[in-house]
């Protein structure tokens, strides 16, 4: 039951470790620096690039498009930093729950319900992650097929220090940024969102 209990978080923690988010008191200085630099150079520039166009928007439609994506990355920035700061507390809570399940070992009938809850959490995670990856892959593909230029159009409006609307190579650079960044971080966003769902379902299973 111990492994089944942690199963929904296995993929989530693997993603956190790869992206440098798995910052605990035992993490090495090298890993901490890696996580900080990756965050600084891959998330924050996107946030800046998405926020700057907000001040020059004259169309409500364009404004809503910018805000939608900008707030997604701003929330990713804050949530990932918050995760780094409180991960030790999250792991401590998971350990308490694990010990409680071991203590309740004699009540086997209870485990069936908890097992079903954990399978449900894993299923939600996989569906959510798949839909996120599908969106990330289809959006740039649709732009390349249906929005030929010049002027070139990228999936969402972003400021850049170069002209990408009339420069093919600038357009390719922006397409790569807008494709690779969400491809890398959509898993992290899903993983962070699954944590409260995990604890809610675990609590419901222990009641």
Residue where the block lists tokens 């999936």 = 155
Query: What pLDDT score does 108 carry?
Result: 57
Q: What distance in Å separates the CA atoms of residue 34 and residue 40, rounded to the nearest whole number?
A: 10
Q: What distance in Å separates the CA atoms of residue 117 and residue 123, rounded to the nearest whole number?
A: 10
| pLDDT band at residue 89 using 50, 70 and 90 as cut-offs | very high
| pLDDT band at residue 147 using 50, 70 and 90 as cut-offs | low
Between CA 149 and CA 158, with CA 155 as vertex, the angle to 5 degrees is 95
Q: Over pLDDT 70: what percentage of the chain?
A: 86
Q: Over pLDDT 90: what percentage of the chain?
A: 9
| pLDDT band at residue 107 using 50, 70 and 90 as cut-offs | low
Kindly tell me if the per-residue pLDDT of 88 is higher than 90: yes
Query: What pLDDT score does 104 carry?
Result: 65
**Phi and psi (nearest 5°) for 107?**
-95, 75
In tens, the pLDDT along 65-81 reads: 777 788 888 888 898 88
Q: What distance in Å separates the CA atoms of residue 64 and residue 54, rounded to the nearest whole number?
A: 9
| pLDDT band at residue 30 using 50, 70 and 90 as cut-offs | very high
Q: What's this model's pTM, rounded to 2 decimal places?
A: 0.78
Query: What pLDDT score does 77 carry?
Result: 87
């Amino acid at each position: 039951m111990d492994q089944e209990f942690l199963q929904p978080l296995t993929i989530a923690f693997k993603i956190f470790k790869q992206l440098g988010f798995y910052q605990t008191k035992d993490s090495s200085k090298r890993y901490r620096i890696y996580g900080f630099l990756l965050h600084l150079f891959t998330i924050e520039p996107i946030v800046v690039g998405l926020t700057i166009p907000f001040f020059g928007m004259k169309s409500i439609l364009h404004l809503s498009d910018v805000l939608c994506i900008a707030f997604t990355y701003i929330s990713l920035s804050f949530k990932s930093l918050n995760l780094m700061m409180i991960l030790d507390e999250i792991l401590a809570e998971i350990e308490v729950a694990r010990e409680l399940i071991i203590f309740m070992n004699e009540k086997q009938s209870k485990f069936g319900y908890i097992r079903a809850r954990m399978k449900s959490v894993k299923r939600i995670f996989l569906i959510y992650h798949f839909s996120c990856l599908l969106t990330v892959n289809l959006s740039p593909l649709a732009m390349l097929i249906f929005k030929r230029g010049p002027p070139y159009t990228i999936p969402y409006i972003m400021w850049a220090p170069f002209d990408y609307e009339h420069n093919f190579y600038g357009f390719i650079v922006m397409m790569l940024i807008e494709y690779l960044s969400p491809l890398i971080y959509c898993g992290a966003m899903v993983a962070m969102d699954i944590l409260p769902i995990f604890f809610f379902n675990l609590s419901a299973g222990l009641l």
